[in-house]
C-alpha cells in the first residue's frame, strides 16, 4: 500500500524559504516518478517539480531557479526546498508518486506567503 505524508508547510514572508517533506512508503524508489503539484481554490493543479532516478529533475518555469526537488531514499523522503518565495507561490502543495498507470497523492500541506 502506497502512503504519502507531507509536512513543512506554513506561513512565511515574501523572500523567505520553506522546505517541504514527503515521506513515502510502499514504493520502489528507483521505479517511481515523484514530484510536487500545487493548487489554489478555483484554479487548476499546477505541476511544480518532478524527480526520477537516472533523469534530471524538471521544474515549472515559475519556480525554476528558486525551488529544488530532491530525495533521500534511505529516509524514504522527498523534499522541496523553496527559496525566494513569492505571494503567487501561496497554495496547497501535494506530493505524488506515479507508478504507471497509477498515481498516488498525499493529503497536501498549505503554504502561505505574505506580501
Range 101-115 average pLDDT: 95
**Whole-number pLDDT of residue 105:** 95
4 contact partners, CB below 8 Å, separation of at least 6: 22, 23, 24, 95, 96, 97, 104, 105, 106, 107
Eight-state DSSP code of residue 26: S
Distance CA 93, CA 75 (A): 20
Query: How large is the average pLDDT for residues 33-56?
Result: 93
Dist. CA 59–CA 102, nearest whole Å: 21
To 5 degrees, how large is the angle CA 3–CA 112–CA 49?
Answer: 50
What is residue 43's predicted lDDT score, i.e. its pLDDT? Answer: 86
Task: Tell me how far CA of residue 69 lies from CA of 29, 50, 101, 109, 115, in angstroms.
Answer: 15, 7, 23, 16, 24
Percent of the chain with pLDDT over 70: 100
Mean pLDDT for the chain overall:
95
Amino acid at each position: 500500500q502506497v502512503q504519502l505524508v507531507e509536512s513543512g508547510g506554513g506561513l512565511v514572508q515574501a523572500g523567505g524559504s520553506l522546505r517541504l517533506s514527503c515521506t513515502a512508503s510502499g514504493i520502489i524508489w528507483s521505479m517511481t516518478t515523484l514530484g510536487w503539484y500545487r493548487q489554489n481554490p478555483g484554479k487548476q493543479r499546477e505541476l511544480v517539480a518532478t524527480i526520477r532516478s537516472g533523469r534530471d529533475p524538471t521544474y515549472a518555469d515559475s519556480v525554476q531557479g528558486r525551488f529544488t526537488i530532491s530525495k533521500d531514499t534511505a529516509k524514504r523522503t522527498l523534499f522541496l526546498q523553496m527559496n525566494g518565495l513569492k505571494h503567487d507561490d501561496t497554495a496547497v502543495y501535494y506530493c505524488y508518486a506515479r507508478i504507471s498507470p497509477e498515481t498516488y497523492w498525499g493529503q497536501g500541506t498549505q503554504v502561505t506567503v505574505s506580501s
